[in-house]
Amino acid sequence: MASNILHFHSQENQEIIVVVVPFPAQGHLNQLLQLCKLIASHNIQVHYVTTMTHTNQAKSRVHDPYSFINNNNIHFHELSTPFFNSPPPNPNSTIKFPSHLQPSFESSSHLRKPLSKLLTVLSSKAKRIVIIHDSLMGYVVQDFVYLPNAEAYAFHSVSAFTLFLFIWENMGRPFDIDANFLKDVPSLEDCFSPEFEKFIKLQHDYMKFNSGRIYNTCRVIEGPFLDLLSKEQISNNKKQWALGPFNPVLVQQYGTKSCHKQHECLIWLDEHEPNSVVFVSFGTTTSFSDEQIKEIAIGLERSEVKFVWVLRDADKGNVFAKDHQSRKIELPKGFEERVKDKGIVLRDWAPQLEILAHSSVGGFMSHCGWNSCMESISMGVPIAAWPMHSDQPRNTVLVTKILKVGLVVKEWTRRHEVVTRGMVQAAVEKLMASKEGEEMRNRAMDLSGALKNSVAESGIKNMELDSFISHITRQT
Ligand SMILES: *[C@@H]1O[C@H](CO)[C@@H](O)[C@H](O)[C@H]1NC(C)=O
């Protein structure tokens, strides 16, 4: 941390300093790290600030890591916080919210003091400091209000659709909206643990200090919901910017760069036909029971569709902590041998964005975390949605009913049931080998094309980013 501050006077454009404070869970860490690069590309100093373990986690998993590590405008900080418990996930839990991460979430509150110190130092060196923090880190950043030249913006890591509904319902539905948007929207029951609901409420008490909101979405996919969010009752006339997609939309295959070893699954994908492989991955907060894993395996095998399956337990709070009784996830006897020409099972971290960008991949079976939805839509890949918790059930409605770029594997009303092999097989077959699946793929490709246009010089995403940059670098 000290060296970052010492080096900092040698950089250009030090009038404005941006400080980014992510929430310590993978989907959140990644989205805000990607945003750092977008802001840094405008030659603005960006400081990415979280605990040592979470800084390392974000850097080690990001797409194209060297473009971050070697970026002179991005400074990584590793603040110390007390030890926290990092228990394993419970694969048998009926509620899929990752309660085992709660100690890590609670521990992040200890960032308040060291962050406040850092902000004070940076504040004295800059004309203005701009704090962009996850909406779940309001408590941690609160002391910025004592600095004369600081302002803060809340980043919401969920879709505009989900966020709008959340705020609108909390306000008691203050105005009418198109009834079509409400069809099929499930309640929030079982989406969060009670402890996490408390945590969210605490963070929201600090929202009043913010100057505006930032979203990882784009007008071309969520225009109507961005309009609803900008209604005065919801926005309080504060500014908002849809700066997504944060992830790159034009992904170069690493293999073409000699310095980087291509992941084994990308080499495997090279051997297959366009749109012939389904990518199966449920993010970093899902742990399945042994029974559920068996049903997925047999369903995939019976579909006879080729697959890349990322089979891993949910992250622990500290992903680097040694775990002596780590779970060995068992597959049905002989499964891997039987399917060896059809699919591969990955048990470690997988380069998701590159996999989705690969032309052989034609579908994504996903938990529908927002980071995954944005990556999939950016790459034109339709989704078989199997939501687990948090915003995922509602993202599923957005993806399948509103954008129509996917289908539902498991309805949220059946959340306590095991998904059978037959359901897995039917979903994969429909997504990969039916006329309806083809139509979803075509719509996903159209959205991907629109997103690619949005990042062009005069595109809407680029204009929003320019507008945000002009705002934070304004003279007055
Ligand atoms: C989950 O349930 C299975 C089957 O009942 C059992 O073998 C396993 O030990 C349980 N795992 C945990 C972490 O409770």
CB-count exposure of residue 235 (10 Å: 0-12, 13-18, 19+) = middle
- Which atom of ligand 1 is found nearest the CA of 291? 4
Domain 2-248+456-472 has CATH 3.40.50.2000: yes
Q: How many CA atoms lie within 13 A of 221 on its CB side?
A: 39
State the distance from the centre of ligand 1 to the C-alpha of 88, rounded, in angstroms. 13
Under a CB-based contact definition with an 8 Å cutoff, are residues 253 and 354 in contact? yes
3-state secondary structure at position 154: strand
- Which atom of ligand 1 is found nearest the CA of 92? 1
Judged against a pLDDT cut of 80, whether residue 252 lies above it is answered with no
Domain 264-452 has CATH 3.40.50.2000: yes
State the distance from the centre of ligand 1 to the C-alpha of 425, rounded, in angstroms. 25
Catalytic-role residue among 134, 313, 315, 391: 134
Ligand 1, from 92, 288, 325: best to mutate by most atoms within 8 Å of Cβ? Answer: 92
pLDDT value of position 35: 98
For ligand 1, is residue 326 a contact (CB within 6 Å)?
no
Under a CB-based contact definition with an 8 Å cutoff, are residues 353 and 251 in contact? yes
Q: What is the pLDDT of residues 413-436, one digit of tens each?
A: 999 999 999 999 999 999 999 999
Average pLDDT value for residue range 330-352: 94
The model's confidence at residue 14, banded by pLDDT at 50, 70 and 90, is low
**Interior CA angle at 369 toward 434 and 439, to 5°?**
20
pLDDT value of position 253: 58
The model's pTM: 0.94
Judged against a pLDDT cut of 50, whether residue 2 lies above it is answered with no
Q: What is the pLDDT of residues 375-424, one digit of tens each?
A: 999 999 999 999 999 999 999 999 999 999 999 999 999 999 999 999 99
Distance of alpha carbon 380 from alpha carbon 249, whole angstroms? 10
State the distance from the centre of ligand 1 to the C-alpha of 92, rounded, in angstroms. 6
Q: Name the closest-CA residue to atom 1, ligand 1.
A: 92
State the distance from the centre of ligand 1 to the C-alpha of 95, rounded, in angstroms. 15
Instruction: Give how far Cα 188 sits from Cα of 101, 194, 301, 373, Å.
Output: 20, 12, 34, 19
For ligand 1, is residue 292 a contact (CB within 6 Å)?
no
| Furthest-apart CA atoms within the chain: distance in Å | 68
Query: Which residue has 């961005």 as its token pair?
Result: 226
For ligand 1, is residue 60 a contact (CB within 6 Å)?
no
Under a CB-based contact definition with an 8 Å cutoff, are residues 25 and 138 in contact? no
Q: Name the closest-CA residue to atom 2, ligand 1.
A: 92
Judged against a pLDDT cut of 80, whether residue 363 lies above it is answered with yes
- For residue 173, give both structure tokens: 């539905």
- For residue 234, give both structure tokens: 């919801």
Residues of the chain with CATH 3.40.50.2000: 2-248+456-472, 264-452
pLDDT value of position 321: 87
Is 446 noted as a catalytic residue in this protein?
Answer: no
Is 134 noted as a catalytic residue in this protein?
Answer: yes
Judged against a pLDDT cut of 50, whether residue 454 lies above it is answered with yes
Quote the mean pLDDT of the chain. Answer: 93
Distance of alpha carbon 191 from alpha carbon 235, whole angstroms? 25
Lowest-confidence region among 7-11, 242-246, 279-283, 402-406: 7-11
Rounded to the nearest 10 degrees, the angle between the axes of helix 26-40 and helix 370-378 is: 50
Distance of alpha carbon 352 from alpha carbon 310, whole angstroms? 10
Q: Name the closest-CA residue to atom 9, ligand 1.
A: 92
For ligand 1, is residue 413 a contact (CB within 6 Å)?
no
Peptide bond into 245 cis (omega under 30): yes
Judged against a pLDDT cut of 80, whether residue 311 lies above it is answered with yes
